[in-house]
Amino acid sequence: VGDVGLAPRAVLLDLDDTIFDHSLTCRAAIEVVRGEYPFLRQRPVDEIWWEYLTMLNGPPPSTGVPPTSAAMREERWRTVARSCGADLGPDEVRALSNRYRAVYLDHRRAVPGAVELVRRLAGSARLGIVTNNEVAEQEEKLRFLGLEGAIDALVISEAVGASKPEPAIFHEALRRLEVAPESAVMIGDSWTNDVVGAEAVGIRAIWFNRFGLPRPDPRAVPELRSFVPPAEAAALVLDAARASRNEAGARP
Ligand SMILES: [Mg+2]
């Protein structure tokens, strides 16, 4: 079959906050729940939202058995309620947390342009999703987005037994897509997990930085601030993939 010019072989994508709009779904749900629970109006919605995301992205508690995602969510809501001056009992915390979860599911959405970007890329490269979370939850998100058919490998930390930025999860994605690291590009919003993690195994990274955050270190990594218009975003991704193969000595 031979080498088809400089066409990239594989594009790896993060899921949460790269394709699936976790952060803005979260904000929309907090806004609704805040309308229903007066004590939450002690604090501005964006303050609660930022605190909630910070807790979500922080390390899980390291004591005892690993908590379930429901238990961790209840803990986050206990903390938020306390910061608003409400000391809730276990049943009240559970009710609040469950209500948030239900509203969250109702407000799910894709990152603008992401679904079309994935569909465009699917015509040019093998596609993998590399994501940290539970299998059932991530599979459900992909179904919700209507993208199951467009993805060649869904690589989830719970199934692999390793999480980004650990090399093992990236190696598993490359193995399943049957590509070498220099033939792949990784796109993700997390500097540590997606950019640093991918580069550590020799995969070129593109930072998806839609909130315009400052660059945590000066490494030369292409950046995308939006996937709109998707055709332009796809072109940038494919160029980065080509550049990565050129540097690795790939021949036309
Ligand atoms: Mg992410």
pLDDT tens-digit series, residues 225-243: 999 999 999 999 988 766 6
Q: How far is the CA of 241 from the centre of ligand 1 (A)?
A: 20
Token representation of residue 202: 């020799």
Token representation of residue 3: 């080498």
Q: What's the pLDDT band for 57 if we cut at 50, 70, 90?
A: confident
Q: How far is the CA of 190 from the centre of ligand 1 (A)?
A: 5
Q: How far is the CA of 108 from the centre of ligand 1 (A)?
A: 15
Whole-structure pTM value: 0.86
User: What strands lie across the sheet with 223-224, from one edge to the other?
Assistant: 153-156, 126-131, 10-13, 184-188, 204-208, 223-224
Average of per-residue pLDDT across 145-164:
96
Q: What's the pLDDT band for 7 if we cut at 50, 70, 90?
A: very low
Nearest to 13 by CA among 170, 141, 220: 170
Nearest to 128 by CA among 36, 4, 12, 29: 12
Mean pLDDT, the chain, rounded, equals: 91
Q: How far is the CA of 226 from the centre of ligand 1 (A)?
A: 14
Nearest to 149 by CA among 178, 176, 174, 123: 123
Whether 7 contacts 124, CB under 8 Å: yes
Q: How far is the CA of 22 from the centre of ligand 1 (A)?
A: 8
